[in-house]
Amino acid sequence: MGQEMTVKGKAVYRAVALAFAGVIGMGAVGPMPLAVAGKRPALQVIPANPDDAFVELRNAARRNDVARSWELADSLSDYPIQSYVQYFRIKPQLFDASGYARTDAPEDDIRSFLQRYKGEAIADRLRNDWLLVLGKKRDWATFDAEYPQFVLKDDTQVECYALLSRAMKGQNVAADARNTLSDPKSYGEGCVDLIGYLAQSGQLARADVAFAARLSLEQNLVTQAARIAAVLPEGDRVDNDTLANVTRMARSDPSQATAYLMAQSGGLSKEEQGAGWGVIGQYAAKKQTPDALDAYRRQMTLGGDAWLSDESQEWRVRTALRAGDWKMVRQAIDSMRAPLRSRDPAWTYWYGRALKADGRNDDARQQFQSIAGQFNFYGQLALEELGQRITVPQRTAVTDAEIDPMGRNHPGFGRAKRLYDLNLRFEGNREWNWELRNMSDRELLAAAEYGRKLGMLDRTVNSADKTRNEHDFSLRFPMPFRNVVERNADAVGLDVAWTYGLIRQESRFIMDARSSVGASGLMQVMPETAKRVAKKIGLPAFRPSQMSDIDTNVLLGTSYLSMILTDLDSSMTLATAGYNAGPGRPKRWRSTLTGPVEGAIFAETIPFNETRAYVKNVLSNATYYGALLTGRPQSLKDRLGKVAPEAVTPDDLP
């Protein structure tokens, strides 16, 4: 304790001394802005440990705290990853405390940084930030020069500014804008500005603006919906018209929305009525009420496909699947927007199934063949529809001569490792993924092996997952701690392949993984769940801190999974859903079925996005693990089984 006080005292003394010497505020990118320097708060303690100071710097930058970022950055002039120190110094000057882009960004510092770190992931990150500033201030000359150099192009708001730049030069960008504006969660200021300009210039009609506002309301982005509505003339409140009100009501009570829409339908066109029924159908389907099918059938009769959100279009297919109406499945997929339909192999697979149900076997086979080469849930199911079972491809082995230069030739891997060691996984993943761009399959496999050498199995999986023609599934689906996993799985009668499939999805084999809700370890067991399971299995004197021990984590995780499996009639599909969402939820979802359905249909119609993806990924993983463990072809359909309706029963599982 005394030593800690001494060290902290030295840190304070150093900070004060630097301030009096005029050093703080004079980093590698120039002096602190006068506006900030003039009203700086009293100096705070700089952590004595440089790693702690760096993490605090990153957090200050995330808050856009300019003064604290400069203070911390000045104490880290010798820190190994100086590019990040300087990025975290500059970035807060580009955004205000609410995260909105400022128009007084230090352009000289930005240009200097981009030149110095050209070709690195962090430079692309700063260019992304700067483009948001340039778009907001309408500096199109600079924006147009910088935008082609933005490599990842993974920011919808920047894309909206790029479209706005083109539109202000007289180009018609309406079609591109409609494709870009499909997800309101990523709009930000840039996309709202784009909607406003296109509406004022006549490229978007009132109906387009109303649709964008409703998309925001569907996601409960009420303030954003109001901002979009405000781009139209005063009094034309598209965020408060009939369809907007239907959207608000449907989120909480689809039956109330139904009554309201029917009462107001006289003032709506057929297409507008159809759009209203589509929204009601989506929310009724998510609540798994029988009204969803009727709502969507009304929508398909009335029309209005263009005014359905992506989610409404997807849930229309899922509703038809649950009802076993293959004709409706085919019609619903035919009516999907092309980009949405091609984004997910689910719709290719189910379209093939609908064609097969209609006796169009050759056409169905074409659909299945188009995705059967994909190593995912629907690729596997398509393969089985073609009469084949699931195997792993021939292994491509890389040599030490290919693996050893990875760290030397790809400095981003070294930065990623340091960031991972500081538990800064977002930044670490970005660095690692940046280095994978444009790699050949053999290079990707070498990177995967390099990740394994560093003890970072999540990066091994991530790198090996990207190969296109040459593969090594022992890298895509590694089996660390095999003795521990097999011993605990065997003890409770669990399929080892399924257990590994779940671990791969839960933690990617990150031993100290911790979720935002507190789940931890390889099997991501919640603290309260761990306590209750430990008590059930008679584990003496259990403490939550033991969850960081691999043996204990796997013991409790497999015990809990076994309990759920028993409680859910030995259905892997239901138990996988229960492990993610809690065992009570799949019971409720099952109880709303009108008859037995394939496990794949049950999985696709799970109302929670996360759980739906989780179940598909875990069971797909398990199928490949089964092939690796046994050396024999596998069936995903056998794992999925069938799910039949059953009344909800009480349970005492957490």
Nearest to 165 by CA among 130, 181, 141: 141
pLDDT at 404 (0 to 100) = 97
Position 44 scores a pLDDT of 84
| Alpha-helical regions (H) of 137-230 | 140-146, 156-167, 174-180, 188-200, 206-218, 222-229
Distance between CA 427 and CA 61 in Å, rounded? Answer: 13
What's the whole-number mean pLDDT along residues 138-151?
99
Q: Rg of the Cα trace of the chain?
A: 28
Q: What is the dihedral of CA 209, 215, 218, 223, to 10 degrees?
A: -60
- 3-state DSSP call for residue 308? coil
At 394 the three-state DSSP class reads coil
Q: Measuring CA to CA, which residue among 459, 440, 438, 441 is closest to residue 449?
A: 459
Whether the Cβ atoms of residue 408 and residue 416 lie closer than 8 Å to each other: no
Token reading at 591: 């109880």
The set of catalytic residues is 506
Cβ 30 vs Cβ 109: under 8 Å = yes
Percent of the chain, pLDDT > 70?
93
**Hey, what amino acid is at 337?**
R
What are the φ and ψ backbone dihedral angles of 151, each rounded to 5 degrees?
-75, -50
Look at residue 359 and tell me whether its pLDDT is greater than 50. Answer: yes
* CB atoms near residue 362 (< 10 Å): 7
Tokens 């405000």 belong to 230
Q: Is the predicted pLDDT of residue 472 greater than 50, yes or no?
A: yes
Structure tokens at 536: 């059930």
Over range 385-404, report the average pLDDT.
Answer: 98
Q: What is the pLDDT of residues 227-265, one digit of tens each?
A: 999 998 876 778 779 999 999 999 999 999 999 999 999
**What is the mean pLDDT of the segment spanning 154-159?**
98
Contacts of 220 (CB under 8 A, 6+ apart): 251
Handedness of CA 630, 636, 637, 642 (dihedral sign): positive
Q: Which long-range contacts (CB under 8 A, 24 or more apart) does 602-607 make?
A: 602/573, 602/574, 602/640, 602/643, 603/377, 603/573, 603/577, 603/640, 604/318, 604/321, 604/346, 604/350, 605/285, 605/288, 605/318, 605/319, 605/321, 605/322, 606/577, 607/285, 607/286, 607/287, 607/288
Place of tokens 């506006």: 35
pLDDT of residue 518: 78
pLDDT of amino acid 650: 86
Tokens of 441: 């399959």
The average confidence (pLDDT) of the chain is 93
Cα end-to-end span (Å), the chain: 41
DSSP state of 595: S
Q: What is the pLDDT of residues 522-542, one digit of tens each?
A: 999 999 999 999 999 999 889
What is the pLDDT at residue 2?
A: 38
- The 3-state secondary structure of 512-568 reads CCECCCCCECCCCECHHHHHHHHHHHCCCCCCHHHHHCHHHHHHHHHHHHHHHHHHC
Condensed to tens digits (0 to 9), the pLDDT of residues 29-81 reads: 555 664 455 455 556 899 999 999 999 999 999 999 999 999 999 999 999 99
The C-alpha torsion from 490 through 491 and 492 to 495, rounded to 10°, is -10
pLDDT over 50 (residue 25): no
Residues in the chain: 654
At 8 the pLDDT is 32
Check if the beta carbon of residue 467 is closer than 8 Å to that of residue 395.
no
DSSP 395: B
How many degrees, rounded to 5, is the angle at CA 329 between CA 327 and CA 330? 65
The residue that leads in pLDDT, 11 or 358, is 358
Q: Give residue 379's pLDDT band: very low, low, confident or very high (50, 70, 90).
A: very high
Buried b (16+ CB within 10 A) or exposed e, 594-617: eeebbbbbbbbbbbeeebbebbbb
Contact 304, 271 (CB under 8 A): yes
The continuous run of DSSP H or E covering 284 comes out as helix 270-286
Report CA-CA distances (Å) from 66 to 355, 395, 519, 536: 59, 51, 33, 51
Helices (H) and strands (E) in the chain, counts: 39, 4
Q: Is 269 helix (H, G, I), strand (E, B) or coil?
A: coil
Q: Is 324 exposed, middle or buried (0-12, 13-18, 19+ CB in 10 A)?
A: middle
Q: Whole-model pTM?
A: 0.92
Predicted local confidence at residue 40, as pLDDT: 54
Is residue 18's pLDDT more than 80?
no
Tokens describing residue 202: 């006549």
In this prediction, residue 11 carries a pLDDT of 35
Per-position DSSP letters for 429-484, written without gaps between them:
HHHHHHHHTT--HHHHHHHHHHHHHTT-HHHHHHHHTT-SSSB-HHHHS--TTHHH
pLDDT (0 to 100) of residue 117: 99
- Give residue 101's pLDDT: 96
What is the pLDDT at residue 214? 97
pLDDT digits (tens, 9 = 90+) for 252-304: 999 999 999 999 999 999 999 999 999 999 999 999 999 999 999 999 999 99
How high is the pLDDT of residue 417?
A: 97
Distance CA(226)–CA(223), nearest Å, equals 5
What is the set of domains in the chain, with CATH numbers? 2-149 (no CATH), 156-323 (no CATH), 400-471 (1.10.1240), 482-643 (1.10.530.10)
Element (H, E) at 31: strand 30-31
Q: Check residue 654 and give its pLDDT.
A: 80
CB 292 within 8 A of CB 323: no
